[in-house]
Structure 1
Amino acid sequence: MSTADFTIVDTPIGPFTALADADGTVLASGWTDDAENLRQLIHPRLRPAELRQRDSLGAISTAIIDYHRGDLTAIDAVPVHQHSGEFLLHAWEVLRKVPAGDPITYTEFAAISGRPNATRAAANACARNAAALFVPCHRVLRIGGALGGFRWGLDVKRWLLSHES
């Protein structure tokens, strides 16, 4: 029976929860205080059976705080582990390379992920991303600059994009 640790960090846009495995790798995260909801977003092969709350997750907590305070690269080195098919895993790695302050469209995301005709698949990669912030799906917009969707709400996405610009 596996256990993941989680912590809840207060941010300017509400509580942010991160779940991590024993190695300090993020399994899921987002602007919520509901760790169980986040646990359910984790692929069944990686999903921990139990959760244990901690005051801090060390480097993960520091990165969350530093990012929200303005160090936009603080999240870049935090390891993330998600599980899915080859395209989604690759697309999530591509997302981690999209620089803060330089959002891309879903069409551009599909192209740089190696499937230029798969805009819907690219959007699906964003929708299925369990590790928000660390895999910055908020940096993908619709053509024309419309926000598109975001699991944590468009107000949060708007704040993040403004924070990064």
Structure 2
Amino acid sequence: MGSACRCIICHDYGDRDRLGNFELRTIVHVKEYGWSVVLIAPRDGRPGWAFTAGLWHTHRVPELAVFGLEPYDMQTIVNNLGDRAAAGLPPAPGQERRDATERHPVALRPVHAQWYDRLLGEALRFYRHPPLPFLQVVWPDADGRYPWQPGSDPALAGSQPCLWLSPDSHPPGVWTR
């Protein structure tokens, strides 16, 4: 993957006079803060989620997505990891991070590109030309186990998808409907 950015800030697609409120708000946030956070409300039996748009543009680090927590907590987690990236501590696949939230560690897993349209479409509207790297911020159950670890709480599967799997390989449930 090259480092060229094809976002709506860096590239003129000939439609700047027709950008919607989402795109305009995202541009303002990215220019002011370095990224924007998109919050998606719970719908269709799925919990809500949050993700960034702009981390790749500003810092050339993967965008982040987190699922199934309270909106404030999800926004805090991705903002904390964004702040760490801006300070020179970029997120990377396979990391377990203890600096995203005081409540628990989180693990970072790469998001399979086939999920982008389904769950991260607003980021695609900002970048226009995927692929771009996305990491899922995965939180553990009450006993500290992640969804892929033996003995983890089965409720994790309903709260957060396994986006490192392709949609065809993902266990059936609210995320594959």
TM over 0.5: no
TM-score (norm 1): 0.34
Larger Rg: 2
